[in-house]
Amino acid sequence: MRTHLTTRPRTDAGKALWALTKSLTAVATAEQAINWLTKLNSWYTVYGELTRQRTYLNRIGTSAAPDWVKPGQRWWYTHDRLRRAYRLLTKLVQRDELFTHLRPELAGLGIAATTNRIEGGINAALRDMLRRHRGMPAEHQLRAIEWWLFTHAIEPTSPASLVRPEHHQQPTARDHDEKPFEESPGPALYDTGLTADEGLWHRRGWAGHS
């Protein structure tokens, strides 16, 4: 919502929708959730027409078109960001994902209305760990994250339970005997071997007489 509206909307519709968005964190009961949904419907009654307004290219000319309009696009929503913000909220409502912490079956789990505890207590620590060890490949980063989560679990199991059967498999003799294929490096320009060309051995013919 902050991306679509910014923290300081300039239109009355944007200001009202941003204020409604900020009030979400204060919803703690089912009655408050119903009241919030009623306010969202009221917002659409007043400002809903803005989310449907269109601007046509043949009426304003190409010079007045926004930068984000694609080539060949003939029309676009006049208040595109406002429309995106409103549709984001309505999709969350339709998927029943906006007030998950108020579901009766989850009431006893103490689920918070925001992700602040996760961001500050877990995600921030994981990002710091990966930043300190940023040289690790992706596979090692995944293992490091899993180990961090394991060691910070409320009731961690024994580390031995993490060992899988394939970890007990010992390498066979064939694995040790196999050597990686190396291409022939070609003739050596400098080497430690002895050759007859260096005059170190007895020679036949006139070259062998003083």
DSSP annotation string for 20-38: HHHGGGG--SHHHHHHHHH
Structure tokens at 159: 């580390």
Comparing C-alpha atoms, which of 98, 128, 125 is closest to residue 114?
98
Q: Is residue 79 within 8 Å of 14, Cβ to Cβ?
A: no
pLDDT score of 148 = 86
Q: Is residue 83 within 8 Å of 17, Cβ to Cβ?
A: no
pLDDT score of 112 = 60
pLDDT score of 29 = 86
For residue 171, the 8-state DSSP code is: P
Regions of the chain where pLDDT drops below 50: none
Comparing C-alpha atoms, which of 176, 13, 184, 164 is closest to residue 85?
13
For residue 169, the 8-state DSSP code is: P
pLDDT score of 6 = 92
